[in-house]
Structure 1
């Protein structure tokens, strides 16, 4: 029995790449299926065969964003063994993400604004991602022996949200130093005295 994970088809990959670019840059509802098909250079039948419709493509786009962020955290965790250094790597990683990748805000916040139904599939996926992010930060805070690690994690999630939006509105040159300074203040406030 072959247990090798199945690689996605090139057409599926092109569709997710096109959706990622267009949805993030222009907004999910602003981009029609025809535009995605054109950019991905596939047929309408291919899109519907791969995803069944636009909402499933939106979910695939958000899952892809989630997987990339999880991989970034896993890489940081594998590269750094000291808990305090890992906290610093998380702060630096978030700042780099705002500067280099997510220059138009948080893809999850942006999608949530376009999908107000809190019980819908898109919002459920966003909630799952945010819970993972919060619990991961809490684990990092626990590893560094911060007091009230859940509170520290909640503060860092809030700061990241604000920094992603602020980075888009005010530019990372202004926002990143403020984010890093404030995140370090949160961590210092939760150090055991």
Structure 2
């Protein structure tokens, strides 16, 4: 998920404009390939303004990751919380990711991208990434436990690996359907850990109108 372009720059603060500009450029070109000059030009601010607000490019990068992380988690958790049953919430993970993969603005995970293009001994970005992943996996683990998994944390970790793999594969291939393969693998793991998903039972409803049945409609009902 990336921040939207401000509709009216005059109604946003310099910090907002710098954040929006940095997010777009980091996602499009990468963090290391995006210089301060490009960010301030995109934001329409002075370089001194950026350093007054963020002190350094590193501080700006951290602010972008934290903001993007909150935005993505809000979207993702909202998408999987729509169904009522825990297993149905878990089954909603990869269909939600597939929609994300299909967005024109999709550039992968900002955390994976950031860690991938920085030195392997860099710790701050790695810590932010682990915090983000821990938050997401905690909720998946809670749902796995509620769905009946004996080892919910282990199952959450397995699903998390499938998510990371699908995110990277979709970025490389530009093919949203990679989510379908990950979904099949996740369902196999869930069936093994929680038991098969409850089948949907077909129920025929007869609508009465006067003395005759007017119509019949098949409704899918989850027991």
The TM-score, its normalising length taken from structure 2, stands at 0.75
Q: Which one has a larger percent strand, Structure 1 or Structure 2?
A: 2
In terms of Rg, which structure is larger?
2
The structure 1 residue matched to 2:23, chosen from 20, 23, 47, is: 20
- Deviation of 1:118 (Å): 4.4
- Which residue of structure 2 aligns with residue 130 of structure 1? 133
- Find the residue that maps to 1:172 and give its secondary structure: coil
Q: Any idea what the Cα deviations from partners look like across 1:23-56, whole Å, max 9, x if unmatched?
A: 1111100000010111111111221122111001
Relative to structure 2, which stretch is displaced further, 82-91 or 38-47? 82-91
Structure 2's unaligned 5+ residue stretches are 1-11, 197-223
Query: Is 1:182 the equivalent of 2:197?
Result: no
- Which residue of structure 2 aligns with residue 165 of structure 1? 168
The structure 2 residue matched to 1:105, chosen from 108, 115, 127, is: 108
- Deviation of 1:71 (Å): 1.0
Q: Which one has a larger percent helix, Structure 1 or Structure 2?
A: 1
- Which residue of structure 2 aligns with residue 64 of structure 1? 67
Q: RMSD between aligned alpha carbons?
A: 2.1
* Number of residue pairs matched by the alignment: 185
- Deviation of 1:119 (Å): 5.5
- Find the residue that maps to 2:144 and give its secondary structure: helix
- Which residue of structure 2 aligns with residue 153 of structure 1? 156
Deviating above 6 A after TM superposition, structure 1's stretches of 4 or more consecutive aligned residues are none
Relative to structure 2, which stretch is displaced further, 69-78 or 30-39? 69-78
Q: Any idea what the Cα deviations from partners look like across 1:7-26, whole Å, max 9, x if unmatched?
A: xx622122111111111111
Higher relative contact order (CA 8 A, sep 6+): 1
2: CA distance, partners of 1:143 / 1:74: 16
Structure 1's unaligned 5+ residue stretches are 1-8
- Find the residue that maps to 2:84 and give its secondary structure: coil
Q: Answer yes or no: is the 8 Å Cα contact 1:11–1:42 preserved in 2.
A: yes
Q: Answer yes or no: is the 8 Å Cα contact 2:94–2:180 preserved in 1.
A: no
Relative to structure 2, which stretch is displaced further, 176-185 or 33-42? 176-185
Q: Answer yes or no: is the 8 Å Cα contact 1:95–1:179 preserved in 2.
A: no
Residues 178, 188 of structure 1: CA spacing in aligned structure 2 closer, same or farther, 3 A cutoff? same
1: CA distance, partners of 2:170 / 2:183: 12
- Which residue of structure 1 aligns with residue 4 of structure 2? none
Residues 97, 172 of structure 1: CA spacing in aligned structure 2 closer, same or farther, 3 A cutoff? same
Residues 55, 140 of structure 1: CA spacing in aligned structure 2 closer, same or farther, 3 A cutoff? same
